[in-house]
């Protein structure tokens, strides 16, 4: 076998065998197949797609490229395909844990215009995002919740392939996303998987057709491994909630855990919690959602969050936002018809909230707090957004370009679909 024949076969849109896919993935991992050869192969896949069988085989090969975790505990995992202002995990994990559903989660750092849960949690001074497997399991057993960055050598093939996809314009391929996400979820050992598949300008997928294809494919892969898998398709045309930036998002998460969060964040968290709790406890989604709402309102979810922060060494009193702020106001009256999630994410990164490449330092204190959401009425001179900044700045014009104000009102839909 050789990689040129495999690329050639793919170019002719012929079906690849599992052995051929294995040869490509393992050869790339060992260094025998070079970056330029693998990027040609990934580009062909991006252009021509893969059959479901090929995607299943690719997932299996990636899954077996490294260790898999066996936690020996019944847990439910949730994964977001990434967005702007997406602080969902920080609220959802303690909320479902407060309902007796164990969460043993590995999360990522932010890359590109999207943020990462690990960076957000590390804006809490002292919060530790690494621990031994033994400590991780013990914490889950004791308080039903533990969250760390990458642990063990899980799916090294995805790590290497994802880094190459990131610089070769092949991140948006449906079969490549499906195999990447699902190989990691399967390797981390949860029995049930809930996926928050973001759709919109700030997401990897910006149309419903691709989102449905991706969601259905991930569910099919989950089922193949006997994992109960469900998927919500959710709005990422505008940022989620009002806050974008690490410590600002932790503060918004705390408000939401106290029952005082933005409407969209609260709604999304409740819908995801309903799925996770109903899958784990075998109750209806309505009943699970009612229980989740109760725990947001009665303080139990917030209490579980505090228990979790303390268990991982965090000190909320030290949580800081940038001292310098400026508020941008609207030059006209009307209704907000667009807040470009991608553009806001890129500007937050420019302020220092995100990184361009792995290893870049981030500034946990900077970011934005929106004063308006799509569909809101605004009058001339009213505040649109507040910028929190330290040494890096963005211009008013750059910020204003993220917004569109019209004389008609639109009502955005948060939950675009549900696949099970």
At 200 the three-state DSSP class reads coil
Single out the segment in contact with ligand URA by CB under 6 A; choices: 174-182, 240-248, 368-376, 377-385.
174-182
Biggest CA–CA distance in the chain, Å, is 67
Q: Rounded to whole angstroms, how far apart are CA atoms 104 and 70?
A: 11
Residue ranges in 143-172 that form contacts with ligand URA under rule CB under 6 A: 162
**184 among known catalytic residues:** yes
Q: What is the length of the chain? A: 420
Single out the segment in contact with ligand URA by CB under 6 A; choices: 13-21, 180-188, 222-230, 290-298.
180-188
**Options 21, 181, 268, 384; binder of ligand URA; rule CB under 6 A:** 181
**Options 63, 106, 155, 177; binder of ligand URA; rule CB under 6 A:** 177
Are the CB atoms for 116 and 279 separated by under 8 Å?
no
Q: How many residues of this chain bind ligand URA (CB under 6 A)? A: 9
Point out the catalytic residue in the list 159, 165, 192, 198.
Answer: 165
Q: Rounded to whole angstroms, how far apart are CA atoms 88 and 82?
A: 11
Q: Counting contacts by CB under 6 A, is residue 175 touching ligand URA?
A: no
Closest residue by beta carbon to ligand URA: 180
**165 among known catalytic residues:** yes
What DSSP state is assigned to residue 73? S
Binding mask 76-95 vs ligand URA (x if CB under 6 A, - otherwise)? -----xx-------------
Tell which phi-psi region holds residue 33, choosing left (phi > 0), alpha (psi between -120 and 50) or beta: beta
Point out the catalytic residue in the list 39, 180, 278, 330.
Answer: 180
**Options 39, 75, 89, 180; binder of ligand URA; rule CB under 6 A:** 180
Point out the catalytic residue in the list 113, 120, 137, 184.
Answer: 184
Give the C-alpha distances (Å, rounded to integers) separating 77 from 18, 28, 220, 230.
Answer: 28, 29, 17, 11
Q: Rounded to whole angstroms, how far apart are CA atoms 58 and 177?
A: 11
End-to-end CA, the chain: 39
Binding mask 185-214 vs ligand URA (x if CB under 6 A, - otherwise)? -------------------x----------
Least Å from the CB of residue 19 to ligand URA:
24
**158 among known catalytic residues:** yes
Q: How many CB atoms lie within 10 A of CB 393?
A: 14
Q: Phi first, then psi: what are they for 150, rounded to 5°?
A: -60, 135
Dig out the tokens for 9 from the structure. 């076969």
Q: Which is nearer to ligand URA, 144 or 183 (CB)?
A: 183
Residues that bind ligand URA (CB under 6 A): 81-82, 162, 176-177, 180-181, 184, 204
Catalytically active residues are 79, 158, 165, 180, 184
């Amino acid at each position: 076998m050789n990689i040129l024949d495999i690329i050639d076969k793919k170019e002719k849109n012929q079906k690849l065998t599992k052995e051929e896919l294995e040869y490509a993935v393992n050869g790339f991992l060992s260094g025998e197949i070079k970056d330029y050869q693998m990027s040609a192969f990934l580009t062909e896949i991006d252009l021509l797609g893969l059959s479901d069988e090929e995607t299943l085989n690719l997932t299996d090969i990636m899954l077996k490229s490294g260790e898999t975790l066996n936690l020996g505990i019944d847990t439910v995992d949730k994964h977001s395909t990434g967005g702007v202002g997406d602080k969902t995990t920080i609220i959802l994990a303690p909320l479902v844990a407060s309902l007796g559903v164990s969460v043993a989660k590995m999360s990522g750092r932010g890359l590109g215009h999207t943020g990462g849960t690990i960076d957000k949690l590390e804006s809490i001074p002292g919060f530790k995002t690494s621990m031994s497997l033994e400590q991780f399991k013990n914490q889950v057993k004791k308080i039903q919740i533990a969250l760390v960055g990458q642990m063990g050598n899980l799916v090294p093939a995805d790590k290497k392939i994802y880094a190459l996809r990131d610089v070769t314009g092949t991140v948006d391929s449906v079969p490549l996303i499906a195999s990447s996400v699902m190989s990691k979820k399967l390797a981390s050992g949860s029995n049930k998987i809930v996926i928050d598949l973001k759709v919109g300008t700030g997401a990897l997928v910006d149309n419903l057709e691709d989102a449905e294809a991706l969601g259905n494919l991930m569910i099919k892969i989950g089922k193949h491994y006997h994992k109960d898998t469900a998927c919500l398709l959710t709005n990422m045309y505008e940022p989620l909630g009002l806050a974008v930036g690490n410590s600002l998002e932790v503060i918004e998460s705390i408000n939401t855990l106290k029952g005082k969060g933005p409407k969209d964040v609260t709604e999304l968290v409740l819908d995801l919690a309903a799925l996770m709790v109903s899958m784990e406890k075998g109750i209806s989604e309505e009943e699970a959602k009612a229980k989740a709402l109760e725990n947001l309102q009665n303080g139990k979810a917030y209490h579980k969050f505090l228990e979790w922060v303390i268990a991982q060494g965090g000190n909320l009193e030290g949580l800081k936002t940038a001292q310098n702020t400026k508020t941008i106001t609207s030059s006209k009256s009307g209704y907000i018809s667009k807040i470009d999630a991608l553009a806001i994410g890129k500007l937050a990164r420019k302020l220092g909230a995100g990184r361009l490449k792995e290893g870049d330092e981030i500034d946990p204190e900077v970011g934005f707090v929106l004063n308006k959401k799509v569909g809101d009425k605004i009058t001339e001179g009213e505040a649109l957004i507040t910028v929190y900044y330290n040494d890096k700045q963005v211009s008013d014009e750059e910020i204003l370009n993220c917004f569109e104000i019209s004389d008609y009102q639109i009502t955005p839909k948060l939950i675009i679909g549900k696949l099970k």
